[in-house]
Every structure is written in C-alpha cells, then in structure tokens.
Structure 1
Amino acid sequence: MYSPLTNVKIVFKYLTTHHLKLCFLPLSVAIAMQASRLSTQDLHSFYLYLEKNSASLTIFSVSLILGWTLYIMNRPKPVYLVDFSCYLPPSHLKASVEKIMNHVRVVRESGKWGKSDENDYLMDFVTKILERSGLGQETYVPEGLHCLPIEQTMVGSRKETREVILGAVDNLFRNTGISPSDIGILVVNSSTFNPTPSLSTIIVNRYKLRENIKSLNLGGMGCSAGVIAIDVAKSLLQVHRNTYALVVSTENITQNLYSGNNKSMLVTNCLFRVGGAAVLLSNLSKDRKRAKYKLVHTVRVHTGADDRSYGCATQEEDEDGLVGVTLSKDLPMVAARTLKINIATLGPLVLPISEKLIFFVTFLRKKFLNPKMKHYMPDFKLAFEHFCIHAGGRALIDELEKNLHLSPLHVEASRMTLHRFGNTSSSSIWYELAYTEAKGRMKKGDRTWQIALGSGFKCNSCVWVALRNVKASANNPWEDCLHKYPVEIDI
C-alpha cells in the first residue's frame, strides 16, 4: 500500500547513497568558476612560483609516485573467476520418486529394514519427506544405489566421485583452454568421503599436475565447504602470484546412504543427490578481460564452540551399528543464530549507507526507548541482484526467503536447483549460478551473494561482481532442460 513516507524514504536512500557525488558537484562548479576569473597576471605569478619551488615539487612528485608504486605492489591481488563447470550425470542415473520408493520397498522386503508389517511407518515417513522435499522427478542417484542388492563398496564410492570430479574438471579445461600445467593451487572439498590417496591426488594423477602444486583436501566441513574452499584458494592466491587455482566441490552418495531405522538419519537419504562443480580462479591481471566475475568478499562464521552448534548434525552409528548423519532438534535454532552472525558481519561490507543508518537508528531506539522493538532487517536487495542460497532443503530456502524479505524471483535459482538436482551439498550454489547465467540474467556490474550453511555449525558467504554480461558456458547443466523452468512446486 502506498504511503506518503514512501517518496521520502526513496529520496533519503538516494541522498545517502550518492552523497559524495552530490557534494563533489557544487565543489567542482565553484572551482571552475574561480578558475575562469583568473587573469593573465595571476597565471604568470603561478608559473613563477612553480619555477622557484621546482626542487620541492620534484621531491613531492617522486615521493608520491614511489608511495603509489609501493601501494600497487603490496595491495591484495584481485581474484577473478575465469569460469566454472557443474557435473551433469548421465540420463540412466535419473531416479523418480516412484522409482526410489519401489527400490526402497524391495530392499526393505529383503530384510534390510526388518519385517514389512513392523516397519511400514518408515515407508510412510520416507514417502512424506520425498513428496514435500521440493525435489523433482529427474534427480540423480549413483549407479551403485540403482543395483539390487545395493552396492555400497569402496570401489563404487571411488567410481562415483571420480566420474563427478573428472567430468566437471574435463569440461572446465575444455571451456577455458587452460593447460593443467598452469594450475598452481588445488583445493578439493568433500565432507564425508575422504579416501587414501586423497581426492586431490586423484586430480593430480589424472592431469599430471606439476610437482610444486599447492594441494589441499578439505573434509568433514559440511555443505558450506564450497565457500570455505574459495576462501582458502583466495588466501593462497594472495601469497602465490601469477597463477591459477582450481577449486573442486563434491560429495559422495554411495558410501553415505543410511539403511537403518532412525528417522533423523533417513532424512539425508531423501535430500542428497549426485553432483559436483569445478571452479577456475586467477590472480593474473590479463584474465580480467575474459573472466566472468571478480571476488569481492568472503565471510566465514563458525559457532562450533557452542555445544548445541557442535552437535546439531553429527555422523555417527545408530543403535544397530549403522552409520548415518543425525540431525538434532536444535538445528533450526542454531542455523538461524549462525546466519544472523554472518549477516551482521557481511552487512557493513555491502549495504548502502542508507541501510546502515536505518539499522543504527533502529538499534538505538531498541536499546534506549523500546526494548520490545524488533531488530531491523536490512534490505539486502539493495546490495545484491542475485542470490544463490544453498539448496539444502525446501524449509531452508523458505526461511531465508522470509527472513531476508526476498521475492520468488530472488530464490528461483535455489528452488529450481533443488527441484532439478536435489541437494548436491557444497556444489549446489554453483548449479544455482549456472541457472542464473543460462537464463541470461547476469549483467555487467551485477552482484551475487552465495550463502551456504553446514555442520559444525558454519554459515559462509561469497560475494561476486560480474565483469561483463555473462553468458552460460558450453555444457551448462541446464541447457537441455532450461525451457521447462521455472516450474510450479506443490505446497
């Protein structure tokens, strides 16, 4: 509804956002007017002054140039995202809800879950989760889980991860034309599957990366590890100049399927699907011309010092000795608190001054006048054009849409990623960015906020700015199905 204060708020935001420009304009006019009044005699006197003080001016100029040179040499190097690639599994790995339930039923009747009459409630529970999850009928399940009986072997797990990682990296190298020998930094993250040799070693061996490669393998860091990997690569790119960093984010489904009777542990079976992404970062100045994005900020928040945060998502054995991930009842509260801290840290870095002032005034009013007054949630739509919210589940996307006052368009990429690919863990934010590119919505100067939450408990953010009108790269995972999206998701 229109309010007389609406125009006042718009004018206020404009004045506070452009205050430097508005102050500079009259100053420029005044200087120009004063310069126009200078006479020939005034100019002659000025030139004489320059001649008399040439030595001082030379020293000043040299000092200024030297200082500027030192600043340029020692300032943080810009980090560019040259390109990224998301893995698209083969079509024979697609699994509809009906196919999954039939498979589960056969496994249960074979005795894996006990007697059918005794455990019918588990079937009902899994069915309800799948129907309300927001996942579509074409998500991907690894080959070992299509088999009867299910093959949860180390061989099957390695095969799944190898196909995902190499599929994404192969496509990235094709699209960028970068030689594997140019890669100086390698960061791989996978939360629960960390074999020996490591996943990063698989890449080193496959592409014969150079012997002095700076290689890291991140494990046990949950769905937000993709942003952590970007932050680690950024830090290394500040130390090692003129090189490329390859970041790979994935998760393994084969090994992590839970086949017990614990409802809390069964939830992850319903949400997680096959997926992975490879990202090429650069600190080379020449890559600015062809790079898609520039990394502006990374913000990491870890509340694991709190016991409830530490234990809200834990991989452990159930009462029958079967391994799964337990989700505690404290998870929503912990997630909300950690998200709030991340937002409070990121806000001052990205929000326009108008939102900062409103937030500060509201804080003072709450502290000194009305303690019951609600905290002001800044309008992050003024800071970002695009939002890539981790597709962890329907409830997570709903909650962030509500709390951040976003529109359905802002969370479209997240909802459609969850529908098409499911929860692919740390790589989901890249499928979302690929969706935005495929839709042709990424324009030069647009700012994107990638935000992900994970066990521990962690909430991490990445902020990117588009360096040009970004088009989808070859073999974008959405290119064969984009015409179907967005789709309506039943409530």
Structure 2
Amino acid sequence: MEGVKDSSSRGATVKVKPERDHTYRLPDFLQSVKLKYVKLGYHYLTSHLLTLCITPLMILVLLQAMQMTPDDLRQLWAHLQFHLVSVISVSMLAAFASTFYILTRPRRVYLVDYSCYRPRDDQSLSIHAFVDRLRLAGTYDDASVEFQRKILEKSGLGDRTHLPEAIHMIPPTPTMRAAREETEQAIFGALDCLFANTKINPKDIGILVVNSSLFNPTPSLSAVIVNKYKLRGNIKSFNLGGMGCSAGVISVDLAKDMLQLQRNTYAVVVSTENITQNSYHGVKKSMLIANCLFRVGGAAILLSNKSSDKRRSKYELVHVVRTHKGADDKAFRCVYQEEDDEGKIGISLSKDLMAIAGGALKTNITTLGPLVLPVSEQLLFFATLVMKKVLGKNVKPYIPDFKMAFEHFCIHAGGRAVIDELETNLQLLPVDVEASRMTLQRFGNTSSSSIWYELSYVEAKGRMRKGNRVWQIAFGSGFKCNSAVWVALNNVQPPKNGPWEDCIHNYPVKLI
C-alpha cells in the first residue's frame, strides 16, 4: 500500500496551474475511469458467458414445469414406464461412469500446516559486522571485501539476517561437524514446530521428501530425520540434491505424485540449504555474490490426501508447473559450482542470469496461464498473438493480468534484481511483491525455503482469506523455473511460533 501512495505522491509534485489542471486533466481522468469499467464489464461478460446463456434457458424450463397439470405428470410417468429399459440402461451407465470417475480421479492434496525455522537471535549479523568479519577472516584481499560490501548495500538484505555459527568464528571453521549442526538445527527446528502445531504422530508419516542442494552427507538427510523421529520402517523417503533454490516446489510435486499412489497418508516435505561449507573464500567476483545473499533457513510442510483433513487444512494444491531449460548450455552454466583458478570452490553466477530467468519464466507462465487465467485474459492474449503472427502487424505482445488469477504472490527472494524483474515483467504492484521484499530484508535468500517465509508473512499480516489463490514462483540452477498454485480453504490465522511472530508489526519497512 505504501508503494501506491508513494507513486501518487510523486505524481502530485508536477507543477501545473490549477485552471489548466481543471481543464485538461479532468477529461483524461474520466476517460481512464470509463476504460476501467469497460474492461471490468468485458472480463465479467466473458468469465460468466456460459452462466448468462444457460440461466434464461433454466428459467424457461422451470416456468414450463410450473405450468404442468397433474394429467401432464401422469402422461410423463407413463412415457417413462413405456421406455423402462432405456431409462434403467441410462441410469446404470451414469452410475458406472460416476463410480469410475470417483475411483480414478486424482486425489486432492491438502496442506495441513507448515513451519519455518527461526534461528536464534545470537546468530544474526548486521551488514557492518559481516564486512568486519570478512576483513578479519584473512582469506580476502581489500578489493574482494570492498566488492562484497557494495553488493550487500544494494542487495536488499537487512541487519537481522542469520549466519551459521561457523561463519561467526574468526577465522571461520567450515568443518563437517559444523555443517551437520547447521542443517540439523534448521531441519529439527522446523519439524519440532510442525509436529507441535499439528499434533501429528511422526509414525503416521508415509512419505518423506528432503531437499538440500549443496550439503548431502552420508547417511542422507532423510535418514537423519528418520533416525531422529523414529519414523516407521516402510516410509517412502527421498533425498534431493543439487537442484537449487527451486527444489522446494520440486519436492512438493514429488510428494503430490506419491500421494496419488498411497491412500490415506501424510507426506512431509523439508526444504533447507547449508552455508557452513559453501562460503567462497577466493577473489573471483562472480563467486563472491553468493556470500552476500544466502542465509540460514529451512521449512517443513505437512501434506495429506485424507478427505477428513480438508476441514483443518490451510490450503489445497491446485497446480504445479515445472520448466527446465537445462538443454541450453548458457542456462545450464548460469549458476554453476566450480573451482576458481586457485582451486577454491564456490557458486559462480553468470551475468546472463536475469535474461535466462526471464526466458524460463516466460516458458513457465505460457503453460501456467491457460490453467489459471480467466477466459477474458486468454482471449486478449490470443487476439494479440494472432495480430502479431498472422497479420504481421507490429503489435506489442499482451501481458496477461495475473492479478486477476491470484491474490498473493510468493516470488523466490533470490535477490533484489530477481524481485524487480518479476515486478516489472508481470506488471505487479508494490503490495504484490511486499512479502518477497520483506523476506529478503529480514531473512535473506534462504534458498528453497524462501517461498514459505513469504507465505508466512502474508498470513502474519492477516491477509489470507478463504478462497484466496497463491502463486509460489521459484528459480533454481539447471536452469529451472517452477510454480505452485494453492487455494486457501479457510481464513488463515497468523501462524503459531511463526518466523514473523516477534517482528511483523515492524513491517513493511522502507527500503533504501
């Protein structure tokens, strides 16, 4: 809301004489209002065209039925008796078709609840303190420290983001033990909160999906969870690695597919990342950027295919659309883990990253659009496409208004540039990207779990109402763009023990 006010205030600073403003700007205003209501009328007409056509026919049938006399009804019954075999055959066919549909239709997947890990306050580190530690680490030259300082100032991160204990040490201690402690704190912290809020018995979990892109020890992280919570022996467990920041949506998609195969069970998805062993200590600029963005975080999500869980669940999963651009060499290498010239390992971010992300997003929404957009928006898009392709006219492509399909947007908090790009390309308002910007400011880029911190922000603000639709968008190495669409089943209350519980009243904050 603040962004809208700022925009209008900037418009108010234009110096125009009162008389001229009254003479020329008022008709423009009236014209814009007129066009607005014309567009609203068009969207309503196209979206409800079938209803508007059928309703008069139903009224006519109803009026005709009300005029029928008892003799007419007796004649109708006699007619049905005369065609008794046909009536029974049609009824049996309808019953068989209904039964077949019920047994073969995809099972609905409900999000019962989820939780986000909130690190301890003593793990937070301001930008100034982080830069001081870079200088004291002894692994960076002055130019590298200054480069990271400038990136941090423009990154959109605030002074309360969290780093693992090993990074707080001077010098850092990126040992395997420290890496295990970081990941276990995030995973167990999120799961303990989830189990406490849902009162679920861990032994009732039939499916477990864990994703961590860079840290994949032996035994696997899924085995660590099975051991910690003593999960049952026949659990279907999966451990996804190397799939980047979009792995959270991939994990949800995998859990959804497994829930179609196993009746009446729960699936738990755990999304996290590890920083302890993946900080870069060299001087290559393309690898230093990751140091400035990634922070500690994790999320645990409880999914169910039990119809009895619908009443207590928060959301229902509607669509998952996945786009993979890995066949293109540039896209494949735009986020790439490798060694620099000195043999130091880091994540290299290509200068073409935003262009590749834009192309992946375009492909993704081309598939997603027909599934979620109203008919009116699809017709406008198709009309401009015909004019451009068939008629050969120089027509600017029509960008569908996704605000007509979704009430809330959870854009992966990969960095300020990522959020800016999607805000511009999708023609979103500042309030639409508020959750993403505030998550980046408060928690940084928590990789695959960032979209859950954003959803928690919307809930903590009390904005999630029954029937609201949520679009989670995530980008990842490979290169991938993945979308998940949820619909709220109830008015969602602020989460218990949520990551925003102690600070939501301070947000949104003004970003520099």
TM-score range normalised by the length of the shorter chain:
over 0.9
Partner of 2:85: 55
> Is it true that 1:31 corresponds to 2:61 in the alignment?
yes
Q: Paired residue for 2:450?
A: 428
Amino acid at match of 2:423: E
Give secondary structure in 2 for the equivalent of 1:409: helix
Question: Could you say what the CA RMSD is over the residues aligned between the two structures, in angstroms?
Answer: 1.0
Alignment of 1:9-24 (within 5 A): 9-24=39-54
User: Shift of residue 24 of structure 1?
Assistant: 1.8
Shift of 1:439: 0.5
| CA apart distance, 1:120 | 2.2
For structure 1, the residue ranges without an aligned partner over 5 or more in a row are 114-118
Q: CA deviation at 1:11?
A: 1.1
**Equivalent of 2:337 in 302, 307, 315:** 315
Structure 2 residue 75 is matched with structure 1 residue 45: yes
Question: Are the aligned partners of 2:136 and 2:171 in contact in 1 as well (CA < 8 Å)?
Answer: no
Cα-to-partner distance string for 1:410-434 (whole Å, 9 max, x where unaligned)? 0000000000000000000000000
Superposition deviation, residue 44 in structure 1: 1.3
Q: Which residue, out of 284, 299, 324, partners 1:302?
A: 324
Between the aligned partners of 2:489 and 2:411, the Cα distance in structure 1 is: 21
Listed as ranges, the matches of 1:265-344 within 5 Å are 265-344=287-366
Higher mean alpha-carbon deviation, 209-218 vs 31-40, is at: 31-40
Alignment partners' CA distance in 1, 2:146 and 2:134: 12
**Counterparts in 2 of 1:371 and 1:251: CA distance versus 1, 3 Å:** farther
- Number of residue-to-residue matches in the alignment: 482
After superposition, the C-alpha distances for 1:29-75 in whole angstroms (9 at most, x for unaligned) are 11112112323321110111222333332232222112201210110
Asked whether the 8 Å contact 1:175–1:473 carries over to 2, the reply is no
* Structure 2 residue aligned with 1:460: 482
- Counterpart position of 1:116: none
Pair 1:185 & 2:242 matched: no
* 1:371 CA displacement: 4.6
Tell me the SS of whatever aligns to 1:247: strand
SS for the counterpart of 2:95 is helix
Q: After the TM superposition, which of the residue ranges 60-69 and 1-10 deviates more from structure 2? A: 1-10
8 A contact 1:315–1:324 mirrored in 2: yes
Q: Distance in 2 between matches of 1:309 and 1:107?
A: 33
Deviation at residue 372 of structure 1 after TM alignment = 3.3
Q: Deviations over 1:225-260 (max 9, x none)?
A: 000000000000011111000000000010111111
The residue that corresponds to 2:146 in the other structure is 124
Q: Counterparts of 2:81 and 2:343 in 1: how far apart (Å)?
A: 89
Matches for 1:47-126 after TM superposition, within 5 Å: 47-108=77-138, 112-113=139-140, 119-126=141-148
Partner SS state of residue 430, structure 2? coil
Q: Secondary structure at the match of 1:410?
A: helix
The percent identity for this pair of structures is: 59
Q: How does 1:215-234 map to 2 (within 5 A)?
A: 215-234=237-256
User: What secondary structure, in the 3-state scheme, does the structure 2 residue paired with 1:187 have?
Assistant: strand
The match for 2:186 is 164
Amino acid across the alignment from 1:46: L
Question: Corresponding residue for 1:255?
Answer: 277
Q: Which amino acid aligns with 1:147?
A: M
Partner secondary structure for residue 118 of structure 2 = coil
Unaligned 5+ runs, structure 2: 1-28
Q: 1:358 aligns with which of 362, 374, 380?
A: 380
2:420 aligned partner: 398
Give TM-score, length-normalised by structure 2: 0.93
State the one-letter code of the partner of 1:50.
L
**Higher alpha-carbon deviation: 63-72 or 413-422:** 63-72
Instruction: Assess if the C-alpha contact under 8 Å between 1:297 and 1:462 holds in 2.
Output: yes
